[in-house]
Amino acid sequence: MKTEIEQRVEKSYAKQNAMKNIGAVITEIGSGTVTIELPFRTDLTQQNGFIHAGIVTMIVDTACGYAAYSLMPSTAAVLTVEYKVNFISPALGDKLIARGRVLKPGRTLMACLGEVHAVTDGKEKLVATMLATMIARDQVG
């Protein structure tokens, strides 16, 4: 049986049309943590055949956002306030795994850390790191 947090995160994530378009799925939800996986697709690559940096950023921002959302009241919505990304190595592999976790929860702002790993033959390689700030606000739309 799924927890209330898992149900709430999954319900919100189901409305993420952009994530549906790229084929990214949530694979783990915890209190203050979320994991999103994205299978490698050539239509998401840049000119050198790597997954585009914008796509890498998109999945890790979303993982951080839902990690924060998992700690927010059920009446709240989450939005990204800011983030910084470091790209460590090319995003190339069988799939990408984005893991977000809350470093410092707060009533309004939450500091989050995200990492993206490329998986090839079961081995993970760090692709990018993100430090992000998320804000809890009233439901939008």
Domain edges within the chain: 4-138
Percent of the chain residues topping a pLDDT of 90: 94
For 47, the 3-state DSSP assignment is coil
* CATH number for the domain running over 4-138: 3.10.129.10
Of 66 and 139, the structure prediction assigns the larger pLDDT to 66
Predicted local distance difference test score (pLDDT) of residue 139: 73
Question: Does position 141 have pLDDT exceeding 70, yes or no?
Answer: no
What is the residue-averaged pLDDT of the chain?
A: 96
Predicted local distance difference test score (pLDDT) of residue 136: 94
Mean pLDDT for 13-39 is 97
Residue 138 binned pLDDT confidence (cut-offs 50, 70, 90): confident
Can you list the positions of beta strands (E) in 31-75? Answer: 33-39
Predicted local distance difference test score (pLDDT) of residue 116: 98
Spell out the SS3 assignment of 51-102.
ECHHHHHHHHHHHHHHHHHCCCCCCEEEEEEEEEEEECCCCCCCEEEEEEEE
Mean pLDDT for 129-134 is 98
Predicted local distance difference test score (pLDDT) of residue 140: 61
Question: Does position 12 have pLDDT exceeding 80, yes or no?
Answer: yes
Mean pLDDT for 118-135 is 98
CB of 76 closer than 8 Å to CB of 136? yes
